[in-house]
Each structure stands twice: as structure tokens, then as C-alpha cells.
Amino acid sequence: MTAAAIDTPKRPRGRPRKTLDERDEGNRRLELVKAAARLFRRKGFDATSTRDIAAAVGMHSGSPFYHFKSKGDLLYAVMEQGMQWALDRQAKVLADEEPAAEQLRRLIRSHFDTLHGPGRDFIPVMLYESRSLTTRQRNGIADLQRQYEAAWVPVLKALSRSGQLRTDASLARLLIFGALNWSVQWFDAKKSASLDKITDAAMALFIREDLQ
């Protein structure tokens, strides 16, 4: 903290008002990320051209490179944004003290919401296009994923201790995430069972009733 910082005159409370230009820049950038997420999910990263993305937001072919240094940076932005939202949703769900089984149910339901809620292309892109990241980028995403998984570990350990889960917590986590994540291959909001029902099915598959 420098003296200059201390002496800074008080600003009005709340988030500082952005200039019109700044606000537009932020919006355009987010528009690009959203359009990229949708296209990367539908066609894959390699099969999506930066021209496709530009056209989707009404820009000309070179303009995305004003906002992002490279196509790969745009991919990274999609994944980072997706993980940030997923972490936010997950944090909201874990507020109270509850039995471990109920906590797991909430985590699973929130995870399905992250995967299949309306407009949620970001995490599927992350799950299927990580190969196209640089090593540095992959490490950045891996950090966010570790944060996300950290909420699951104590819950699974508790269930393992109580006998409601009959598998070593670490392998259980991998297998359970697999079962959930794989749903991006088959879940169809119009045809599949509801996310609540699928959450019930997953719980019934993995967890035994309380054995007291």
C-alpha cells in the first residue's frame, strides 16, 4: 500500500460507472465468448473458424483479433468463464450443514445444472476441447477444476466412512464424475428424464441408505 493509495480521495460507493466505450468493449467481448462457446460445442474447436464466430456476432473476419490475441485465447476464455460460473453455482448450494448424502445430492444436481442448464455450452466445451489448449492454459483450467472438486472430496470421504459409499473416495470421485459428465453425450432436455429424476437415479446408483 503506497502513500498515494492511502491518500486517494473517497470515491462514490458501489461499482465505478464505466464509460460507454468500456461497457461496450466488455459486452462485445462477452458476446464473442458466448458465440464461441455455442459454436465450439456444436462443431468442435478445430472445425469452427474465427470467421464463423465473427459472423455470429455481426463482426467482420479480422475483428475478433481486436478482442483476443488468438483463437486459442478465445477457447481459454470460454472454459474459464464456464468454470467461474460453475464455481459460483456450486458455492451457493453448499451453504448449510446437512447430512453428507444430502450434500452429495445438491452437488450432483448443481453439476447437472452446470452441464445442461439453458445456454450452458461452456463446460461441455471444456470437457471435450482441452486438447487444444497450451500447457500453460491447461494448467490454469486444471487449477479451477481442482477448486471445483475440492467441495466433493470431504463429502465423499464422509460417505465412505459411514458405509454409504463402498468405494475408495478417490476412485469413486472419478467414476461418479464420469457418470455425470457423460450425460453431455445423451441428455436431451426435450426427450430425457428431468434433471431432478436423473439426480435421483444417480444417487440411488451410488449411495446406500443410511446404515446407522
Partner DNA sequence: CCTACCGATCGGTAGG
Q: Choose the contact partner of 60 out of a copy of itself, DNA, none; CB within 5 to 8 A by kind.
A: DNA
Residue pair 82/122 in contact by the 8 Å Cβ criterion = yes
- Contact string 15-44 vs DNA (x = CB under 7 A): ---------xx--x----------------
- Indicate whether 201 belongs to the interface with a copy of itself (CB under 8 A): yes
Q: Within a 10 A sphere around the Cβ of 4, how many other Cβ atoms?
A: 7
Residue pair 149/173 in contact by the 8 Å Cβ criterion = yes
Place of cell 480521495: 9
- The nearest distance, CB 59 to DNA, in angstroms, is 4
- The nearest distance, CB 29 to DNA, in angstroms, is 7
- Residue selected from 18, 42, 66, 193 as contacting DNA according to rule CB under 7 A: 66
User: Residue 141's closest CA among 131, 151, 155?
Assistant: 131
User: Residue 154's closest CA among 199, 100, 190?
Assistant: 100
| Cβ neighbours of residue 159 closer than 8 Å, sequence gap 6 or more | 100, 101, 104, 165, 169, 207
- Residue selected from 39, 41, 50, 183 as contacting DNA according to rule CB under 7 A: 50
Amino acid making up residue 131:
R
Residue pair 145/167 in contact by the 8 Å Cβ criterion = no
Site for a copy of itself in 102-161 (CB under 8 A): 128, 131-132
Number of residues this chain uses to bind a copy of itself (CB under 8 A): 33
Per-residue cell: 211: 446404515
- The nearest distance, CB 175 to a copy of itself, in angstroms, is 4
Q: Choose the contact partner of 202 out of a copy of itself, DNA, none; CB within 5 to 8 A by kind.
A: a copy of itself
Q: Which parts of this chain interact with a copy of itself (CB under 8 A)?
A: 43-44, 46-47, 128, 131-132, 165-168, 171-172, 174-183, 185-186, 193, 198, 201-202, 204-206, 208
